[in-house]
Amino acid sequence: MKTQQTLRKALGGVTAALVMALGLTQASPGLNLNFAERTATQLIQGLFAPAPAIAQSLVEGKGKVIAVTQEKQELVLEHEAIKGFMDAMTMGYKVNSPSLLKGLKPGDQVRFTIDKDKSVITKITKVKN
């Protein structure tokens, strides 16, 4: 907020300097300082506005390892429903890195993250029973 106020003052000063350098006054035809001030304010607010929400492509789930297939870089999971993505089921998922499969074996309880856009598991962690 403090930075926004500082920028607003600086931009106001630049606008005033341009007006003086060009020899313009409020009486000059066609000059609308209120418009310039509003435009400057909108510009500054736009710079500090929060970014629009990006659709969340990552979802998290919990389940049990059924099979690990290193050569296919695939993990078969029996998982609970994944909110906003799919119902509970048993299904094979590709992993984005073969290293994610290291140390996993059938029966392991896991938490995992899936990138919905790419349909791959990006993170997996064993859960202690």
Asked if the structure places residue 53 within a domain, the reply is no
Q: Are residues 80 and 104 in the same domain?
A: yes
Instruction: Encode pLDDT of 48-73 as tens digits.
Output: 666 554 556 899 999 999 999 999 99
Which token pair is 90?
């048993």
Distance CA 11, CA 48 (A): 15
> pLDDT tens across 83-109, in order?
888 999 999 999 999 999 999 999 999
**Residues 11 and 42 occupy one common structural domain:** yes
- Are residues 122 and 62 both part of a single domain? yes
Tell me the CATH number at 97: 2.40.50.320
Do 41 and 80 fall within a single domain? no
Q: How far apart are CA 121 and CA 65, in angstroms?
A: 13
Q: Residue 102 falls within a domain, yes or no?
A: yes
* CA atoms of 90 and 49, how far apart (whole Å): 43
| Structural domain of 24 | 2-48
| Backbone φ, ψ for residue 87 (5° rounding) | -75, 170
Residue 92: what pLDDT? 95
* Count of domains observed in the chain: 2
Q: Which residues pair with 95 in a beta bridge?
A: 121
Domain-located, residue 7: yes
Q: Is the pLDDT of residue 113 over 70?
A: yes
Domain match, 39 and 64 both: no
- My answer on whether 30 and 68 are in the same domain is no
The verdict on residue 74 lying in a domain is yes
Determine contact, residues 109/127, Cβ cutoff 8 Å: yes
Q: How many CB atoms lie within 10 A of CB 80?
A: 13
